[in-house]
Amino acid sequence: MSKSIKLLRRQIDRIDVNIIKLLNARAQIAMKLGRAKSAAGRNLYDPVREVKILANAKRKSRGPFPPEGVVSVFREIISATRSLEGAVEVAYLGPEGSNTHLAALKHFGSSVRFFPQPSVEDVFNAVEEKKHSFGVVAVENSLEGAVAQTLDLFIESSVTICAEVNMEIAHSFLSREKSVDKVRRVYSHPQAIAQCRPWLRKNVPWAALRESESTSSAALRASKEKGSAAIASPMSARLYGLRILAERIEENKDNMTRFLVIGRTLPGITERSKTSLLLSIKDKPGALFRALRPIARYGVNMKKIESRPIKGKAWEYMFFIDLDGHASEPVLSRAIKEVEKECLMLKVLGSYPSADVP
């Protein structure tokens, strides 16, 4: 080994020692912070603070280290030091390896306690009944649109949206079998099946398509059945001992899913907040126009509107609306109050940091 390589490695070793010292110094302060939060009755998880840390880390990364890599490193540092402050428990649609699990890992890091749930409804219940601090649920996909079950559960639930996570979705074809020729059944979540239908028609047109609660539950089932396959994540292949017979089988590679972090608190204002509303209006001409008019008048940007039928009331609808800004900011607050005057019911589902930062 050349002297120059030895010298460079010694320099890296010295830097690593300093990194470890700084991490431990940060951890010591984090433990004191955790005790102070507990004494003040504050939550251990502060999405606004964490977004600021990650955004600053990304902005200040001007060297050769990739900015996205800096964000990933800092997310795990935050996760590890947060765990020293106290336990944060997160429910998600399981089992392990689901896209919701991956979104939860992306947002919270690996140093929290994750609790898989058999259904999206169970995730809501776990948070509402205070079994776990937070939950992660999918709300919309860039190809298939809104996740109806999630929207419906918000109608009756008292949970609050605390944060959002945008994640690229990549589907793999997994099986115990060595080739697709042996596959007779394919399991997956309905949206995953829809996103991969052209590939399925071309490569396994003879296979029966079976819907499952999540992509990871599909992988678990495929691991137990001869002649079965699943559309799921590569992580599921590792977890359940399956072969990856094909990768990136989704029709459109620009496949993003938006997830929401639900809890019981309202985060503070960030540089870029987003507010979600749920409202119902009178069934008469121009009612929706009159309800939304204050949003335009106050110059508030409406990011999204989605309608869902009200159960038990034929042809009556609830509307889900996403707006730029925080509900406590003066302009948006006034706009919401005026919108409410035109509604039968209006509920602020949450104001939270936009996933666009960082």
- Catalytic residue list: 257, 259
Quick one: tokens of 52? 């600021």
Q: Is 274 helix (H, G, I), strand (E, B) or coil?
A: strand
Place of tokens 């320099």: 11
What backbone phi and psi angles, to 5 degrees, belong to 169? -110, 125
| Residues 1, 130: Cα–Cα separation, whole Å | 58
Dihedral angle at the C-alpha atoms of 116, 121, 122, 126, nearest 10 degrees? 110
Are 176 and 186 a contacting pair, CB within 8 Å? no
What is the C-alpha to C-alpha distance for residues 65 and 74, in angstroms, rounded to an integer?
13
DSSP state of 301: P
Tokens read off for 51: 């977004």
Q: Sign of the C-alpha dihedral, residues 214, 219, 220, 221?
A: positive
Amino acid in position 52: K
Q: Which helix (H) or strand (E) holds 302?
A: strand 302-309
Amino acid at 88: V
